[in-house]
Structure 1
Amino acid sequence: MNTIDKLKWRYATKKFDTTKKLSYSQINTLKEAFNLTATSYGLQTMKLIVLEDSQKRNDILPAAYNQKQVVDASHLLVICIQNEVSGDDVDSYYKQLHQERQTPNEILEPYKNQLKGVIQNMSEANREEWTIRQAYIALGNLMTVCAFESIDSCPMEGFIPSEVDRILNLNDFNLKSVLLLPVGFRAENDMFASLKKVRKPLNEVILEL
């Protein structure tokens, strides 16, 4: 399939085949794809939880309004953001930048200080909203990679984050959940798999100026 065919093949999978599991290689591809997601300033203030444990997923099910994809998929991906973003994150990033690229610190220092100022001048609410937007970029990236790898997925906003945080003890890791992405393989009897995609004509969504 070409690029467009693969994107047409993708849909929000409603029913997963419980007998099929992603391979180690496929899971590793998704991990790498998450890590390569574009993020604001390159700070990567997110983490991805790859959850296979069936008991934990059953515990999460009520918090996800009993959407069965959570337990029926091969794995449940939980996209999380940091509870706090601070100057320490900037220091860590620029330290790694110096190590990886050997860029002199005297060149990096002005940019590092400028970014610290940007973060410090944000309100707590703005910092959280800014970080949440990065999570949505990661979600889109993962969904696209899934389509190219013939992996089915179902993006989910419909869950109770505080409950998922409690079940997974995310506060211990300075994290909070933002999005869920069950991944695996569609069931043969998922009626939604064969439905035609409904999208507006290109001339209604694209402006060429």
Structure 2
Amino acid sequence: MNSIESLQWRYAVKKFDSDKMLTVQQIDILKQAFNLTATSYGLQPLKLLVIKNKTLQKELVAHSWNQPQVYEASHLLVICVPKSYSKKEVTKYFELVKNVRNTPDKIINPFKDFLTKEIEGKTQEDLFLWNKNQAYLALGNLLTVCALEKIDACPMEGFIPAKYDEVLHLTKQNLTSVLVLPVGFRAEDDYMKDLKKVRKNIEETVIEIN
């Protein structure tokens, strides 16, 4: 399949085949795709939890509006952002830039100073919303890669972050959950499996300016 055919194949799975599991290689592709996601200024203010634990998955169903995909899926991916964010993250980022690219300080420092002031000038609420926006970029990237790799998925906002944070002990790690993505393989009796995709005409969603 080409990329468009793969995206046509994709849908938000309502029922997973709980007997089919993703391979280590497939999970590794998703982890790498997450890590390669574009983020604002390249700061990567995100963490990905990869859960393959049926006891945990079953417990989390109750905190996911009782959506069974959380339990039925091969793995449950949870995208998290920091509860508090500071200029320390900017310092870490530019240390990494220097190590990877050997960029001199005289090149790094002006941009580093700019980003530091950006972070210091925002409230924690502003920073949370900014970082949460990056999580949606990661989710979109994961959905596309899933489609290309023929991995089924169901993106979810319908869950209770505070309960996920409690069950997964995220607060201790200065993290809070923002998005959930069960991944695996569609069940043969998923009623959505063979339904036609419903989308507006391209002329309604795309404006061309020549």
| Structure-2-length-normalised TM-score | 0.98
SS in structure 2 at match of 1:157: coil
Shift of 1:195: 0.3
Corresponding residue of 2:172: 172
Corresponding residue of 1:141: 141
1:60 aligns with 2:60: yes
Large movers: runs of 4+ above 4 Å: none
Contact 2:17 2:72 in 1 (8 A): yes
SS in structure 1 at match of 2:18: coil
Distance 1:157 1:109 in 2: 38
Residue type at the aligned position of 1:148: L
Shift of 1:73: 0.4
Shift of 1:199: 0.5
SS in structure 2 at match of 1:191: coil
Counting only pairs closer than 5 Å after superposition, residues 47-196 of structure 1 correspond to structure 2 as: 47-196=47-196
| Greater CA drift, 117-126 or 27-36 | 117-126
Shift of 1:125: 1.2
Distance 2:121 2:66 in 1: 40
Distance 1:53 1:73 in 2: 10
Shift of 1:16: 0.2
Equivalent pairs, count: 209
Distance 1:208 1:114 in 2: 35
Structure 1 runs not aligned, ≥5 long: none
Corresponding residue of 2:26: 26
More helix per residue: 1 or 2? 1
Distance 1:44 1:12 in 2: 26
SS in structure 2 at match of 1:144: helix
Shift of 1:184: 0.1
Task: Let me know the Cα RMSD of the aligned residues.
Answer: 0.6
Shift of 1:185: 0.2
Corresponding residue of 1:46: 46
Shift of 1:133: 0.1
Structure 2 runs not aligned, ≥5 long: none
| Structure-1-length-normalised TM-score | 0.99
Residue type at the aligned position of 1:5: E
Contact 2:85 2:124 in 1 (8 A): no
Per-residue displacement from partner, 1:8-65 (whole Å, max 9, x unpaired)?
0000000000100000000000000000000011111110000011111111110001
Distance 1:74 1:91 in 2: 37
Residue type at the aligned position of 2:46: M
Per-residue displacement from partner, 1:125-151 (whole Å, max 9, x unpaired)?
111100000000000000000000000
Residue type at the aligned position of 2:196: K
Identity over aligned pairs, percent:
50
Residue type at the aligned position of 1:202: I
